[in-house]
Amino acid sequence: MAADEELIIDSDAPSAEGAANYSEENIITLEWNEHIRRRPGMYIGKLGDGTSSDDGIYVLLKEVLDNAIDEYMMGFGKHVLVTVDESTVTVRDHGRGIPLEKVVDVASKMNTGGKYDSRAFQKSVGLNGVGIKAVNALSTEMYVESVRDGMCKQVRFSGGVILEESDIKPSDEPNGTLVRFTPDKDIFRDYAFREEFIIPLLKNYTFLNTGLSIFFNGKRFYSKNGLLDLLKENLTTDPLYDIIHLKGDDIEVVITHTKQYGEEYYSFVNGQHTTQGGTHLSAFKEAVSRTIKDHFGRNFEYSDIRNGMVAAVAVRVQEPVFESQTKTRLGSRDMGPEGPTIAKFIGDFIKKELDNYLHKELGVAEIILKKVQENEKERKSMAGLTKVAREKAKKVSLHNKKLLDCRIHLNDARGDEDLKEASSIFITEGDSAAGSITKIRDVATQAVFSLRGKPLNTFGLTQKVVYENDEFNLLQAALNIEDGLDGLRYNKVIIATDADVDGMHIRLLMITFFLQFFPDLIKKGHVYVLQTPLFRVRNKKTAKRVGKKKKDSAPEETYYCYTDEERIAAINKLGANAEITRFKGLGEISPEEFRDFIGPDMRIDRVTLRKEDAVGELLEFYMGKNTSERQNFIIDNLVVEDDTQLES
């Protein structure tokens, strides 16, 4: 059996009879492309439809881009052209081009690539020879063209199978590789690429590779100042002092403090955004805390030093080892086969460069000292309160009252990154709203936290309220985020409220709470809002027949509409037989109907936080004490819903 094939048991075999007649017929061998198509999650993580930044189609884009960036890192080609429409991506680099005789092998033979030879790719991201093969297998069409020294080779694939292959022939094009692919819509259902997720990805590439120009649909992205530009791009509140920017061989860091609570980090390895951190981020946090503590000669708590810190670290490691194929967490302990440990390398750099900086920039050092002392003072003032709050959170039976946990946490499977990736928690308003979700949720991965009434408006309050308020104290304990996001128990925190004024108000209060005390939870893409249908439009004749048979069964001609446009379209389809129901609360939707609304295809909107959002001003206006100004705004923008339209 070839190295790129896998021996598996055919899952389609009948269970009872198969157990009794287990034979050679039950053993099948999959070709490389068929294995990727059957098990895409092993190679690209989740699938998705393009509505989330970590959906599979963006992983495919990244796999192709990584190859282009690796060429730039090796000193070849300063321009990368990226063209994307709703379904197709084209990436053209100006590197050396794939060796012409090996174009087919590189695109369609597992464990094949030039990055095993560290002399050619010293500090590359893609080391396992899988990336572009996964793109090939999961695309209905992939076209690869390589140009080297006036000659070119072209190959066209579908699902990893060669459709057309040219001979090596002359070309007037400059050196480089062009890859065009269209993800398979049978695998990525109803997907569409979205610029809101592509642009941050491309910007990160330029921040980490100063001098590189990426042209996306004709628009140029370029960075002159590296991570300094990255931090300025991502800061949503003013820094307390000028950003500290330190660079060395194979390392670059930026550090500042803001008035926000919590810690916020961006970490990278060989140009790869390690969203889950890893050994390099842990070493960086430890080194910065220790250096600042030693510089001032005070016995500061590390948490006081880092509260309010916003920073980024990028390192280049030889032959990095990641904890998953999607490369979101670094597992390497060493900088390379013969190099120092990552902890020592980063620790030595920070100790020398940051300490020197603080000795030179006395004004910055004074601001940092004042910030740490303020953090220390606030922490000590809450010491007794936090102890009581923690004890109360432990005593309260979260699993029976506020929190209905999912099985992966009840079984203490927190160390499994794949399970954590799939986990989510719904924050609902009251027991009635939680009822349908609780009855129909996936108990393995979906948890439910029920709020009691409207939560407190936390705008302008201090962190003390997190411990004084039972709802927030227990929610913080359920999420396990008191000491930062490293302990976060759920990948998605989903606010699920009624589609009415009260539900919207609760949604805003919860977002305000997260923005005030856990902004990184939003910035890292963990907070979402559940979209539930506003209307059900169904054939009234069919509905009556079905209703006599089974209460919760939905007739075939039933449309769940999230907008007025969808409602009108459904009414036009059913004509005079249309029966319209306006859902005003989650409790009105039966469990069976709710099944699809929180299933794999549920509609959730990610809550985003950008510098241009001017969050401080927004919160001041909508959640502050300017009651009269806000009242006038509501009156001026009031829209009255015409109930007669709902009954037509």
Q: So what's the pLDDT on residue 429?
A: 82
Lowest pLDDT segment from 97-106, 278-287, 447-456: 447-456
Q: Please name each of the domains of the chain with its CATH number.
A: 1-29 (no CATH), 56-195 (3.30.565.10), 243-381 (3.30.230.10), 395-532+605-636 (3.40.50.670)
User: What percentage of the chain's residues is helix, strand, coil (to nearest 5)?
Assistant: 40, 20, 40
Of 368, 524, 530, 393, nearest in space to 448 by CA: 530
pLDDT at 16 over 70: no
Beta bridge partners, 535, equal 561, 582
- Name the average pLDDT for the chain: 84
Q: So what's the pLDDT on residue 592?
A: 78
Q: So what's the pLDDT on residue 548?
A: 47
Q: So what's the pLDDT on residue 613?
A: 63
Lowest pLDDT segment from 61-65, 149-153, 589-593, 626-630: 626-630
**For range 619-637, the mean pLDDT:** 70
Residue count of the chain, please give it.
648
Token pair belonging to 419: 């399970």
Q: So what's the pLDDT on residue 648?
A: 34
pLDDT at 509 over 60: yes
Of 611, 615, 526, 515, nearest in space to 230 by CA: 611
**For range 45-64, the mean pLDDT:** 87
Q: So what's the pLDDT on residue 602?
A: 83
Percentage of the chain with pLDDT > 90?
A: 46
Beta bridge partners, 268, equal 273, 314
Amino acid at 585: G
Would you place residue 545 in the very low, low, confident or very high pLDDT band (cuts 50, 70, 90)? Answer: low
pLDDT at 638 over 90: no
Q: So what's the pLDDT on residue 127?
A: 42
Q: What is the 3-state secondary structure (H, E, C) of 358-372?
A: HHHCHHHHHHHHHHH
pTM recorded for the entire structure:
0.79
**For range 437-441, the mean pLDDT:** 86
- DSSP character for 302? H
**For range 370-381, the mean pLDDT:** 94
> CA angle at residue 438 from 437 to 441, to 5 degrees?
70
Q: CA 589, CA 49: separation in Å to the nearest integer?
A: 25
Tokens 């895409």 label which residue? 40
Phi-psi region of 417 (alpha: psi -120 to 50; beta: other; left: phi over 0): alpha
pLDDT at 255 over 90: yes
Q: CA 23, CA 37: separation in Å to the nearest integer?
A: 25
> CA angle at residue 238 from 374 to 376, to 5 degrees?
10
Lowest pLDDT segment from 268-282, 314-328, 510-524: 314-328
Lowest pLDDT segment from 37-51, 91-105, 438-452, 521-535: 37-51
Q: Which residue has the higher pLDDT, 338 or 76?
A: 76
Q: So what's the pLDDT on residue 215?
A: 97
pLDDT at 341 over 50: yes
Would you place residue 70 in the very low, low, confident or very high pLDDT band (cuts 50, 70, 90)? Answer: confident
Tell me the per-residue pLDDT of 309-337, one tens digit each, with 9 for 90 and over: 999 999 999 888 887 656 778 888 988 88
Lowest pLDDT segment from 134-148, 253-267, 357-371, 557-571: 557-571
Q: So what's the pLDDT on residue 504?
A: 86
Q: So what's the pLDDT on residue 324?
A: 66
Q: How many CA atoms lie within 13 A of 433 on its CB side?
A: 26
Of 425, 406, 404, 426, nearest in space to 416 by CA: 406
Q: So what's the pLDDT on residue 287?
A: 97
Of 447, 589, 586, nearest in space to 438 by CA: 447
Token pair belonging to 464: 């003390």
Phi-psi region of 472 (alpha: psi -120 to 50; beta: other; left: phi over 0): alpha
Lowest pLDDT segment from 360-369, 411-420, 479-488, 638-647: 638-647
**For range 340-357, the mean pLDDT:** 96
Token pair belonging to 482: 């008191």
Q: In what order do the strands lie in the sheet with 558-561?
A: 558-561, 535-539, 578-582
Beta bridge partners, 253, equal 246, 313
